[in-house]
Chain A
Amino acid sequence: MEITRRTLLKASVAASAAATVGIPISEVAAKTVDEAEKDWLWDKSVCRFCGTGCGIMVATQDGRIVATKGDPDAPVNRGLNCIKGYFNGKIQYGKDRLTKPLLRMTDGKFDKQGKFQAVSWDRAMDEMEKQFKQVYKEQGPHGVAIFGSGQYTIPEGYAAAKLMKAGFRSNNIDPNARHCMASAVVAFIQSFGIDEPSGNYDDIEYTDTVVTWGANMAECHPILWARVSDRKLGDVDNVKLINLTTCSNQTSDIADSEIIFKPGTDLAIWNYIAREIVKRDAVDHDFVNKHCVFATGPYDIGYGMRPTSKYAFEAEKDIQAKELEVVLDADEAIAQRRRAGERVKQKNTKAPVKHWQISFDEFKRGVEPYTLDFVARLSKGDPDESLASHRQKLQALADAYIDDQRKVVSFWTMGMNQHYRGSWVNEQAYMVHLLLGKQAKPGDGAFSLTGQPSACGTAREVGTFAHRLPADMVVANPKHRARSEKLWKLPPKTLNPKVGAHIMNILRGLEDGKIKFAWVQVNNPFQASANANHWIKAARKMDNFIVCSDPYPTVSAKVADLILPTAMIFEKWGLYGNAERRTQGWRQQVNAPGEARTDVWQALEFSKRFKLKEVWGKQKIPGLKSKGFTDGELPDVLQQAKAMGYSPEDSLYDVLFATAQNRKVAWPDEAVAKGHACNTAEWLGEGWFPEKALFNEYREFGLGHEHDLADFDTYMSDDNRGLKWPVVDGKETEWRFNEKYDPYVTKGAGFEFYGKALKATPVGDLDGVTDKKKKPLPGRAKIFFRPYAAPPEQPDNNYDLWFSTGRVIEHWHTGTMTRRVPELHRAVPTAQLFMHPYDAKQRGLKRNDVVVVESRRGVFKALLETQGRNRPAKGYTFAPFFDESVFVNKVCLDVTCPMSKETDFKKAAVKVYKA
């Protein structure tokens, strides 16, 4: 039929009409779309960013990522993403992506003061080997260190941890998750004997009360917050959202109540709730009697600072002195039942984690001082709010928890974890939930959210911490070492029993020359660690060798001596574990650019350069003191190794990684790969599949030990959207410790807190141990009494404002990926300092002025914002840390929770003036 003008016109009218009323576009148009996308290959994957663990789908064509979408089948996000997730496909295409190893050189030789020059991988590894071996020989295994990560894939973290712990016999590997999760871990282990939350994200849909404590979920867990908000909207009158925060933020927007509290007084608020529970006799006595005991610990545990002022800047010395002795203020005195002005020597800085069981009566005595009057006065954080209003809100908060018709979920993140008493305040959350019996039930539970995509899956579960081994085991425990040595096929006493240096101590070790070789993997510690001026100087001025594996030139790369170009998430096979214990895997989608290599390959390749005789001989470990070991040294295990069939000439690569068993895990593995490449396997070229072999080897640790994971192929299969461990008989566990859901709970017990760690303690009262004999508490959780203690640094006349750092939704951590996405950079190009307009006016400052923020430790400059997303109360300031040109960590205080060693990034005293 001849097409006339008229028919054409008619057709186009119809088409536009169809478009306006939402009828799907015509088949012709659909076909054009198909044509353009016909070569796209879609595959499942996981978002690179936060601990929420959203599923995404990645489309590739000709070796490039061309598109992504939220995975509609992913139970976490159901096809949605936040704005960072929207840009997953762009993070690897920054213009300054590193493609060659770079070494500081002068005249062709390594020179610490030289300029970076491109070198071959062989040259890079040769230098790295030379430097490592020299330090290792001089300083022993604890002269070297690895900065690990909560963004490691599981195989990466496992390879790094195994190389370090089993190969180099060093426990100096610690992840940036130390900055993020460590307080949560301590509280989980101390309270339950096992790490990670009992509940899962479905709690959101089951509960009717969500309380956020120091968690700006709206920005930092955006997709989860969308679920919380949906729950609220679905039942507006009944569902209550309460946001406890030190700085008004977007999470308050939909909340029923916003409680602004003074930094550090969350410790007192939890105790007030506990006191109310006791006073109103709302304790779930049945639950508590059957499943819990009460406990407490010492108060005088310091603040995780150095015990000496030798390295402190002059201005820092007054704060540093508090590590040794504290003068109690009036509020602390009430809270700790002591005298105001009393000088308290910090006697328990070496063993802050020790604790003992107490009676319920003692517990009651502990919380007794936390009356509403006292706590309301102490904790009111907004000078513009009336005491009556704050009081009322606190009372309503307690009512919400106690109301037996309500289910309650408490969410928290960095506000509670990055806290000078982070482990305490985490334990207080469990205290309240356990007292009420509102734990480990659908819709009831204290739920610690993670910040990083695999803080749970890798840093914690694999055990890339200085004190940990896989599956919640610890190096200090001889049984754990023995089990690990058995699984790893190591001679007895290969593993080092001395806890290694945590992140802050690795940095401090660089500063005082005890650590002379450090390898930065999947993180950016020199930008992300508090009191940064010290560590930058240590890296550049001290005699040490720092290797940084990174896809981009970061701050840490800038202070390093050798930079290794590294593959990013979709350029390798991997698995992440999110905050609800969900392990999710993905295939390699594209090749890394240039000579960038995977972290697994880097670890394995490096391991080839070490023979057993170089590492398994006698090694000095200063300070090692452990039953069965000579003080200060690790024994020579080469003889036993020979007996096990190893030769001293064997390389670590053969003994640790390319074991006979692992070599059986063949590559190519078409059943799983389905056309996808595995560069690690191909570069090694030995016909085995490292990521799969390492995952399956690691999995052995958890099987039958409450940490069961499915096998690699299950996680990689197309229809799998992750499983919440323990995965027993192919079934995931929704709620742990609850007989209905958890196969590990003894039948008929109802609930059982079966974690095995710290399940026998001495007995005592609030003031100390009365009976040193350890009393076992099988299957029980501990309800801790922890008192309020004042922050070591508070605003004074000179540094007159609180300062806190954190995140914004648009940028991830130190911005190394998101700031390379042009759209995100355009949207939020720089970190601003948020301040109350009144404070700005007092200082003669205007919005958008460049201001200087100065603390005892350093300064940074930022643009001032007085009416933005964060609305600090008078006396309080906030700036995010993503922007390396607004280097907030030069100002932050490196006080840590003494128990978890997690830095308190949230409480520094600063002054602000016009630049």
Chain B
Amino acid sequence: MKTTLSSKARRNFLVGISQTSALAVTGGLLWSFIIKREARAMPFALRPPGALAEADFSALCIKCGQCVLDCPYDTLYLANSADSIPIGTPYFIPREIPCYMCDDIPCMNACPTGALSPTLEKIEDARMGLAVIDIENCLSWQGLRCEICHRECPLKDKAISVEHHQRKLSKHAMFVPLVHSEACTGCGICEKACPTDEAAIKVVQADLVQGAIGQHYRLGWKQEGQISQEFKTVPIPEQPVEATGLDYLNEGDL
């Protein structure tokens, strides 16, 4: 009796364990699927100044909204479940209200977790995104005298400069705005100010648009210190192993 009882109990126990585990695993998989979609799928959100890289940011952000509340310009939103932005995280839409780049960075200072990293000392060093010009629809690139983005840029001449080009169609020079990633904070004041129906200058996350020159090459006319790209250690080419090339030399006809 005792053995039957204990085997029954053991059986029940095992069934219970496996049921629980099955529940936990299925639930966990579903759960992690939701998290992946929520937290990882939308890298397009523009974050407040000082935000860490998206993966770290979404881990550290506790979704408390204190940055949102401390922004004096009501720039920041806390993503709700209807937004296509990771839920509960702060973001801004420059065309609605850009970041006005407060010197004292109140949003960052409000952050309790360091998701908005206190290592940001000057707002000019913030990298919320990068302004990109659609030169097909930029009025200045067509020859009109606009350049509002340049004049309104809080880092005028550093983040956005104007180059003067001759215009073939008439004797009027073009005043074309150019964005410089080494200074652009992605505050979005340019996007807000752009007078076209759909802004012809937009702030996006820099890694969506920025390329990188090969690490093995340097631009000959740029002096050291002028290079804006951050080159890390240049990989050293692997040494060839002995007697390479035999496959090609020995196999196949010409």
A contacts, CB < 8 Å to B: 70, 77-83, 85-87, 205, 222-223, 225-227, 229-234, 250, 253-254, 808-810, 823-824, 826-828, 846-848, 867-869
Contacts and interface: CB of A to CB of B under 8 A. Distances in A.
Interface stretch (B8-16, B54-62, B141-149): B141-149
Contacts of A828: 148, 152, 193
A632 B236 CA distance: 100
Contact of B169 (A79, A222, A233): A79
Contacts of B144: 70, 80-83, 85-86
Contacts of A826: 192-193, 195
A223 B145 contact: yes
Instruction: State the majority secondary structure of interface residues on A.
Output: helix
A222 B144 CA distance: 9
Given A83-B195, A823-B195, A868-B151, A78 B100 contact: no
A88 B40 CA distance: 46
Contact of A827 (B103, B145, B166, B195): B195
10 contacts: A78-B172, A80-B143, A86-B139, A226-B173, A230-B172, A232-B164, A250-B151, A254-B164, A826-B192, A827-B195
A83 B148 contact: yes
B156 interface: yes
A229 B145 CA distance: 12
Contacts of A70: 144
A416 B139 CA distance: 32
B186 interface: no
Contacts of A229: 164, 172-173, 175
A827 B164 contact: no
Contacts, number: 96
B162 interface: yes
Contacts of A79: 169-170
Contacts of A80: 143-145, 170, 172
A828 B148 CA distance: 9
A253 B166 contact: no
Interface of B: 100, 102-103, 139, 143-146, 148, 151-152, 154-156, 162, 164-167, 169-175, 192-196
B205 to A, nearest CB: 24
Contacts of B196: 823
B171 A230 contact: yes
B95 to A, nearest CB: 9
Contact of A867 (B139, B156, B167, B195): B156
Contact of B164 (A222, A233, A810, A846): A233
A234 B166 contact: yes
B233 to A, nearest CB: 37
Q: Point out which of B143, B167, B194, B195 has the most chain A C-beta atoms below 10 A from its C-beta.
A: B195
A868 B153 CA distance: 8
B145 A846 contact: no
Contact of B172 (A77, A86, A823): A77
B188 to A, nearest CB: 13
A826 B195 CA distance: 8
A21 to B, nearest CB: 13
B169 A848 contact: no
Q: Which 10 A-B pairs have the closest CB atoms?
A: A78-B170, A222-B145, A229-B173, A226-B172, A82-B145, A230-B173, A827-B193, A823-B195, A869-B151, A83-B146
A54 to B, nearest CB: 10
A402 B174 CA distance: 31
A828 B151 CA distance: 10
A293 B143 CA distance: 45
A616 to B, nearest CB: 51
Contact of A83 (B145, B164, B169): B145
Contacts of A225: 145
Nearest to B196: A823
A79 B13 CA distance: 85
A78 B151 CA distance: 25
> Which of A79, A229, A823, A868 has the largest number of chain B CB atoms within 10 A?
A229
Given A826-B192, A846-B103, A83 B139 contact: yes
A259 B145 CA distance: 24
Contacts of A77: 172
Contacts of B194: 827
A230 B172 CA distance: 5
A227 B145 contact: no
Contacts of B102: 848
Given A82-B144, A250-B151, A847-B103, A205 B195 contact: no
Given A86-B146, A233-B165, 14 more contacts: A82-B144, A82-B145, A86-B139, A87-B195, A226-B143, A226-B174, A227-B171, A230-B173, A823-B196, A826-B193, A828-B193, A846-B103, A847-B103, A868-B152
